Amino acid sequence: MPIIPAEILFNKFKQIANQHSMHFIVAEWNKSSIEFYKRRGASDLSLEEGWRLFKIDKQNLLKMTDEE
């Protein structure tokens, strides 16, 4: 997946600003992006609400379907 600079993304977000809110993911190591979004009013839900992102890969999805 290509990495898109934050400024380009933010300009695109302005075009869809009539939305009520937007959720997105930022890698923990990417401190500059975290600060970029915080300066623009983003809330860090992992800290405030305790949310975590999970992924189940294809192999484990298939394993789950075999169990049922």
The predicted model scores a pTM of 0.53
Q: Which one of 37, 49, 65, 68 is the catalytic residue? A: 37
In a domain, 29, yes or no: yes
Known catalytic residue at 37: yes
CA distances 58 to 48, 62, 64, Å, are 31, 6, 10
Q: Residue-wise pLDDT tens for the chain (68 aa)? A: 677 677 777 777 666 665 567 778 888 889 998 888 888 888 888 877 777 776 778 887 788 777 65
pLDDT the model gives residue 37: 86
- 53 in a structural domain: yes
The residue segments making up the domain with residue 33 are 6-67
Please indicate, yes or no, if residue 1 is contained in any of the structural domains. Answer: no
Count up the domains in the chain and report the number. 1
How far, in Å, CA of 49 to CA of 14, rounded?
Answer: 25
For position 20, what pLDDT does the model report? 66
Return the residue matching tokens 């999805």.
61
